[in-house]
A and B are shown apart, each in its own frame.
Chain A
Amino acid sequence: MNRSASTKRYWRSLNDLGQTTEFKELMANEFQSEPEEDWTQTSRRRFLQLMGASVALATASCRWDQEKLLPVVSRTPGTVPGTPRAFATILNRDGFAEGVMVTSFDGHPTKIEGNAAHPESLGATSATAQAATLGLYDPDRSRSAASYDAGVESEVSHSACAAALGGIQRSGAGAKVAVLGEPSTSPSLARMKAAFLKAHPSATWVDYSATARNAEVEGCRLAFNQAARPFYSMSNAKIIVALDDDFLSEGPSAVRLTRETAAKRKPNAEWMSRIYAVESNFSVTGGFADHRLPLRSSDIGTFVAALSAALSGGTAPALHAKGADKFLAAVADDLKHHKGAAVITCGPNQPAEVHAHVAALNVQIGALNRTVSYLPATAVGSSMDDVKALVGKMNAGEIESLVILGGNPVFTMPADLDFAAALGKVTNSMHLSEYRDETSRKCSWHMPMTHDLEAWNDGLAADGTRSIGQPLIAPLWKGKSACEMISMMLGNNESSLDIVRQTAGLSDDAWHNALLDGMVSGSSATALKVSLASLPDLAPAAEGLELRFIPHFAIRDGRYANLGWLQELPDPMSKLTWDNAALMSFATGERLGVKHEGMVKLDVNGRTLEVAVYLMPGHADDSITLAYGYGRTEAGHVAGLNDDAVETVGFNTYLLRGSDAMHVTAVSATAASGHYRLASTQDHFAMDAIGAEGTQERLPDLVKEGSLAEFNKDPQFAKAAADFWGPEMTLWKELDQDKVTDHKWGMSIDLASCTGCGNCTIACQSENNVAVVGKEQVLRGREMAWIRMDRYFLGDVENPTAINQPINCAHCELAPCENVCPVAATTHSQEGLNDMVYNRCIGTRYCANNCPYKVRRFNYFNFNKDAAKEGNEVLAMAANPDVTVRSRGVMEKCSFCVQRIERARIDTRNAERETRIQDGVVQVACEQVCPADAITFGDLLDKESRVLKTQADDRAYKLLPELNHKPRISFLARVRNPHPSLEAVAVSEEVVSHG
C-alpha cells in the first residue's frame, strides 16, 4: 500500500486509516483532556478523518460471533410455521387400533382428535387416547437402554443392548428362547411373529394382557364352534339388555357404541330405544339405562337362565335380588315384542358359558346380523394354560433368553404365578418398554420402546378395519417398536416404516390414501356365518361375597398410571381420583362393619390386601368391585417411584388376582382399622341430612328429566317459567344483541345423549393446558377442570338412578362474574364470549364467588412447577402453543376454545375473504371428542347452524334462568323410556345421601 508522508490523504479503506500516523497518534493520545485541535477550526476533511477514526475504533472494538443465517428457499409444501396440521394415525387400545387424527404444531403432536372417517371413531376418541400426548412427552419415559446386574442399573448404548439379542439370533430352533408379547390385532406384528416362529420353531411365544377379553371368544367357540367376537350394532336396537357389560365405556367399540346408542335416545325421533342394565357396580351404562338391576356378577348366569326360561318356557331359577322378578318380566316382554330389533350384550367379566348362552339368546331373539354379528376373533391372548406353561419353563430354568415386548408382566401377571421370581431364573431377559418399570428392573436388559405416536404401526379396529398409523414425531429417545425389535431378533434391522409398508402390500396410491385416511377404507371384516352348537350347562352361581376385578377406566392395566390427566380424571360414577377403592353397597359395608373411607382387608385364597372402602349407591350386595392398575412402585414421579421416594398411588389389586379366577372370585373380607382419605371431586364428604334434602329440593330444576310419556304429553316439560320470561331490566347498559352481526356463539348439551363418560373433561385439559393439581389439592377441592361432569343419584341408596350434567362456563350475556372484577379482568366480547384476561387478573376471586355454576378455577399455587424442573423440559411440548399457560394467582375457566374460533376466523378470511365462519368449522374440544355427540357449539346468528336448532328444541332449558344472567348454553332435558310395568323414576323423588 502506498503511503505518503502527507497527512492530507484520503483513506480508501479502514485498514488504510489504521496505518496513518495521525491515527496512531490519536491512539497514543488516549485521554485527550485538551483537545489537540480546536473543533471549531477543524477543516471538513479533518473532521471526516477523525470521525472515520471513531468508526474504525468502534468497528475495531466490536467483534461479534459470526452466524450464518440461511433462509429456507422453498418451504415444505403445506406448512406455515406456527399453524397446526392434522395427521391420521392410530393408537393402541387393548390390542385394537383406535383411529385418531392428531394435531401437530411445527413437527410435534399436541392434541388427539377422533378420525371422523374412521368407522370406529366417528370423530370421537376414548379418554385414554386424549392422554396420548402426555404419555409421549412423559419425562419419566426411559431415555436410553439399560442393563441390570443384581438390581444395579447402568445406562448402556442401544447397540450394546441390541448385541444381547445376538444370542437369540443364533439359537437355532430356539427351544430355550421365549417371547412374551401382548395380544394385538397388528398385521405387522403377526407377520413378524410368524417370521420369528418360522426361524425358531421351538421357541415359546405367549401373548398376555391383564385386560384381554377372552371369555367372549371362548363363549363363541362354545356357542358356534368358531373363535369369534360379537360385534354390536346399536343403530337397529330398540331394546338393549346389558348384562354386566359397560359397553358404553369398556371395550374396543365403546366410542362407536356410544354414538350409536345415544343417537337413538331422541324422544322426538321415529323411535326411541329402551336400555336395561343388569350389573354389580354402577357403571356408565347403568347410569344411562332406563332400568337397572343391581345383581352380583356371579348371579348373571342365573339371570340368563331365568331369561331363557321366560322367553322359551321352562323352569326359571330363582333370582334373589330385590325387584329382579319384575325386572326380568319386563325384559322378557320387551324382547318378545321386538324380535329382530333387540340385543343382549354380555360383559368381559362373565365366564365363557354365560357368553355362549347369551349368544344363543341373541340368535333366538333374531338379533343375528341385525343388532349383533360375529367377526373373526382378533387380539386373542394366549390361554392361561399357555401362560402357566411358560412360567413353568422359566421356573425350571429352561429359558435362557426371554424377550418381553411391551406390557408389564411383573406387575400385571396373576399373583399366584409369581412372575418376578420366574424371571429371576431366566439367564438373559430383555424388556422392551416405554418406562423402566417393575418388569424392566427385574430383567437383564431394558430397551426403550417407541410410543404409538413415534413409530409406524398398524392394527385392526374392532370392526376389522385395517388401520395404518404414521408417526407424528421421530422417536424422542431413540426407542424401538415391537416390530423393529423382532426384526432385530431376526438379525435384520428393518425400520417400522418398511415393516408396515411391506405388510400393507398396497400400491403407492393406495398407501398414500391409507395414510391420509388412517385406514384402508372399506376393509372392515365380514361377519362370520354362525350356527348354534349345543351349549354347555351353566354352572350354579357361587354364593357368598364375590370380588370383581375390573380394569381402571383410565389407567387401564396400569400402563397409564404416570399420566396425571388420567389420574385426575374422575371416575364417571364414583368421582374418585388418584386412587382405586373397594366399591361395595351400603348394606354390604354395614354387614362387614366398614365405613366409607374406612379400610377393609380382602383375602383371596390366602393372598391379602388392605384397601380403602367406597360405599357406592346402587352397587349389588355381597359384591366388591376393585379396579386394577394402581399400586405401582416403578411408574414414575406421578404414580410411584421407589427410587425417588415417590409415594405409590392407590392399592395394588394384582396382589389378589389369581390365574384361576381373573375376573370374579370368592373373597373373604374383614374390617381393618384406619381411615383413608379418598379424593372424590363430588361428594367430598358424606352428605348430611340437610344437604341431602337441599339437593333433592333443587335437582328437578337443575337436571331435568322426564319419561317419554311425559314428553309426549308436554314436549316442553323441561322449560321453567323463567325460560319464557322476556328480556328483564338490568342496571347496566347491555350489549344490544340486535346490533351483533358477526357471530353469536352458543352451545347446547343434550342430556339425553350424554353418558357421563367424562371425555370432555380430559379433551379440554389437553387442548387448554389445564393443570394437574394432585391428590392433596383435589382433597381440598382445587381441581382445575374447565368442564366437569356432575353426577347425581336419585332414589334410594340401594337402587338409585343416576343422571349426569356437564358444566362449563355458560358465557352469560349478563355475566355475574364480569361486574364484580375490580380490575376488569373478565370482559365480554362482541361475539358473546366471556373473556378471561389472565394478564390483568390480580386474583381477588370475587368472580368465582359470583358464578352460580362455580365453573371458575383459581390457580392457588403454581401448578406448572413440574415442567420447569430440570429434566422435565420435554413436558412443555405437550402444551397447546395457542393457549397461555396460566401462572399462580390468576383465575381461569372455559373460553369456548377461543383459540379455535380465532384460527377458524383467520383461515376463513385467508381462504374465502369473507368473515363468516361456517357452521361446523369451529369444533370446540369438548364437542369434538364427545362420543355421544351430545355437545353442539356454533353461531346462534347462523340460521342454518345446528346449535340454533338444538337451542330451539322443545326440551331445551337454561340452568338457573331466574338469575337473569342469560347463559349461552342450553341443556336438553333427558328423557327416559321406561317399561310401563316398571316404575318410571321421576326426578322429584327422594334423593340419596350421596348427592
Chain B
Amino acid sequence: MASSTSVDQLDIFPEELVQGENDFHSVTEMVCGVLEAPKPPKSWYVIFTTAVALLGVLGAMILYLITTGVGVWGNNQPVAWGWPIVNFVFWVGIGHAGTLISAVLFLFRQDWRTGINRFSEAMTIFAVICAGMFPAIHVGRIWVIWWVFPIPNQMSMWPNFRSPLLWDVFAVSTYFSVSLLFWYMGLVPDLATVRDRAKTKAKKFWYGLFAMGWNGSNRHWHRYERAYLILAALATPLVLSVHSVVSFDFATSQLPGWHTTILPPYFVAGAIFSGFAMVLTLSIPARKMFGLEELITLRHIDNMCKVIMATGMMVGYAYSMEFFMAWYSGNAYEGFTFVNRAFGPYWWGYWIMVSCNVLTPQIFWWKKARRNLALVFIISIFVNIGMWFERFVIVVTSLNRDFLPSSWHYFSPTWVDVLTLLGSFGLFFTLFMLFCRYLPQVAISEVKNVMPQAHPHLDDH
C-alpha cells in the first residue's frame, strides 16, 4: 500500500487522480481489501455500535410517537411543522450531492468524480431513506399513510394531486428508485470483481447473485455503458427537480417567508452545498480508516471544497436577495418576517445559519485551507449544522409568527425531537457502515478508467 501523500503537486501537470505507484491490480486490491479483510478496523466497530445504538433509540422514539401521538414532539399551533420536517428537508438535501456527482459530473465528463461517486451515491440512498421516514412518521395517523399513494381503492378516492405534499411523494420515491437503480447498476462490475475474488462459498453466492452473471465481456461492458449514460441522463434532472419539489411544500403556501419564488433554486443550491459537505464529512475519515487515500486524493477534496464554496455563495446570495425582496415588495408581512428572523426570538438560529453557511466556507478561497484535511472536516460539519439551521429558520420562524399576532406562539423542541434527530443519524450511519464493510466503496471499474494505464496511447506518458 502506498503511503498517503499530502505534498502539494506542481500545477504543471494536472494532479493525478490516482496517487502513488498504482496499477489496475493494486487498485482492485485496495478497494476489495476493505471487504475482504477478516476484521474491519477498530474504528469501524466503534462507529457501527454507536450507530446501531442510535438506531435503537430511533426505533424507540418512533414507537413512542406512534402509540402516543404527534404531541410528544414540540409541534403546536401555529408551528404545526417542527423538527421532523426540518430533518426531512435536511436529509433530502444531503442526498443531492451524490446524484450530482454520479450523474451531472458524469455528463460533464469530470473524471475526478470516480474516486467518490460510489461513496456519495450510497450516501444519497441512505440519506433519502432517512428523509423518507420523516414525512411518514410525522403524520397524525400513520396507519392510513397509504392513502397518499394513488392506489385504486374501495373509496374511489384518488389523492389530491394539487397538493405539494403529494408531489413530494412522487419526487422522493422517484429519486429513491432512480438513485438506487443507478447505484446498483454501477455496482455490478465491482460486485463481479468481488465475486471472482471471493474465498468463501457464502460470499461467492451473495456477491454472485447481485452481480447478475457479469462476465466482463465486451457486450456486457457496452450495455453497461449505455445504461449508465441513460440513467445518468435520467438522474440529472432529478438533482434540480427533487429539491425544487420539496421547496414547493413551502413556496406554494401563503405564509410570508415561504411564499417566494426564490425557494426552488435556493433549495437546490443549498442541497448541493450540504450534500457535498456531508460527502466530505464522510470521506475524510473513511479514506484514512480504510486506506483509500490514494483513490480519494487531495485533488478530490480540493474540488469538493470548490463546489462547496460556489454553492455556499449561491446560498448567501439567496439570503441577501430574500431580504432585498422583502423590503422591495413593500409587503408589511413579508418585511416583518425577515426582520423577525434576524432579530426576533429565533435570532440565534438565524445567525448560526449565516455564519456557518456564508462565513465559514469563505476560508476555502485559500488553497492551503482546501488541502488541510482537519480544517475541511471541521468546516464541513459546520456547513451541515448551518444547513440544518437554515431549514429550521425557514420552517419554524415563518410559522411561529405569521399574519395574525394572536396566533403567535413560541416553539420549543422536546427530548423526543432531539432523540429522533440523533436516531436518524444512527439509521444513516448504520447503513453507511454496513456499506463500507460489505460493498466496494470506490467504483473500481470507473477509477481504472481514468488511470493513465487506461489510455496508453494518449498523453505523453
Give the B-binding residues of A (Cβ under 8 A): 682, 684-685, 688, 690-691, 694-695, 697-699, 701-702, 732, 777, 780-783, 788, 790-792, 805, 807, 816, 819-824, 840-846, 848-850, 852-854, 856-862, 887-891, 960, 963, 965, 995
Contacts and interface: CB of A to CB of B under 8 A. Distances in A.
Contact of B147 (A820, A842, A890): A842
Contact of B252 (A699, A790, A820, A821): A820
B77 A857 contact: yes
Most chain A CB atoms below 10 A, which of B77, B252, B345 = B77
Interface stretch (B91-99, B266-274, B402-410): B402-410
B404 A843 contact: no
A841 B140 CA distance: 8
A732 B252 CA distance: 13
Given A780-B74, A844-B138, A850-B254, 8 more contacts: A691-B408, A698-B333, A819-B162, A822-B169, A843-B70, A846-B163, A846-B253, A890-B140
A684 B345 CA distance: 13
Interface in B111-147: 135, 138-142, 144-145, 147
B19 interface: no
B69 A888 contact: yes
A987 to B, nearest CB: 14
Nearest to A965: B254
A865 to B, nearest CB: 10
Given A782-B77, A854-B78, A697 B336 contact: yes
B71 interface: yes
Most chain A CB atoms below 10 A, which of B80, B144, B158, B162 = B80
A850 B399 CA distance: 9
Please name the 4 residue pairs, one residue from A and one from B, whose CB atoms are nearest each other, closest first.
A843-B140, A889-B140, A860-B71, A854-B407
A822 B159 contact: yes
Contact of A780 (B76, B144, B399, B407): B76
Contacts of B142: 842
Contact of B339 (A690, A732, A790, A887): A690
A861 B65 CA distance: 10
A805 B404 CA distance: 11
Contacts of B402: 852, 854
Contact of A889 (B70, B74, B160): B70
A782 B82 CA distance: 14
A805 B407 CA distance: 12
Contacts of A821: 160, 163, 165
B332 A697 contact: yes
B81 interface: yes
B328 interface: no
A861 B345 contact: no
Contact of A849 (B68, B399, B410): B399
A851 B75 CA distance: 16
A645 to B, nearest CB: 22
B233 interface: no
B160 to A, nearest CB: 4
Nearest to B165: A822
B405 A694 contact: yes
B171 to A, nearest CB: 13
Contact of A822 (B76, B141, B148, B345): B148
Nearest to B341: A690
A841 B141 contact: yes
Given A853-B403, A854-B78, A860 B159 contact: no
Given A858-B77, A858-B80, A862-B69, A790 B140 contact: no
A775 to B, nearest CB: 14
B159 A848 contact: no
A781 B71 CA distance: 11
Most chain A CB atoms below 10 A, which of B160, B254, B406 = B406
A850 B169 CA distance: 19
A407 to B, nearest CB: 38
B360 interface: no
B4 interface: no
Contacts of A783: 77
Most chain B CB atoms below 10 A, which of A699, A852, A963 = A852
| Consensus secondary structure, chain A interface | loop
A822 B399 contact: no
Contacts of A862: 69
A820 B339 contact: no
Contact of B406 (A790, A842, A889): A790
A690 B147 contact: no
Contacts of A685: 345, 410
A688 B402 CA distance: 15
A807 B160 CA distance: 28
A688 B339 CA distance: 13
A790 B71 CA distance: 24
A943 B409 CA distance: 42
B148 to A, nearest CB: 5
Nearest to A731: B162
B140 A850 contact: no
7 contacts: A690-B339, A780-B71, A824-B159, A842-B140, A850-B253, A854-B404, A858-B77
A460 B169 CA distance: 64
B164 interface: yes
Contact of A995 (B159, B160, B405): B405
A783 B77 CA distance: 8
B71 A777 contact: yes
Contacts of A850: 253-255
B404 A790 contact: yes
B53 interface: no
A840 B139 CA distance: 12
B344 A807 contact: no
Nearest to A857: B77
A761 B410 CA distance: 23
Interface in B344-395: 344-345
B237 to A, nearest CB: 23
B337 to A, nearest CB: 9
Nearest to A858: B80
B64 interface: no
B249 interface: yes
B405 to A, nearest CB: 4
Contacts of A859: 69, 140
B343 interface: yes
Contacts of A805: 406
A906 B389 CA distance: 55
Most chain B CB atoms below 10 A, which of A682, A685, A694 = A694
Contact of A816 (B76, B254, B404): B254
Contact of A823 (B160, B344, B345): B160
B406 A807 contact: yes
A840 B157 contact: yes
A813 to B, nearest CB: 15
Most chain A CB atoms below 10 A, which of B68, B74, B164, B336 = B336
A311 B345 CA distance: 52
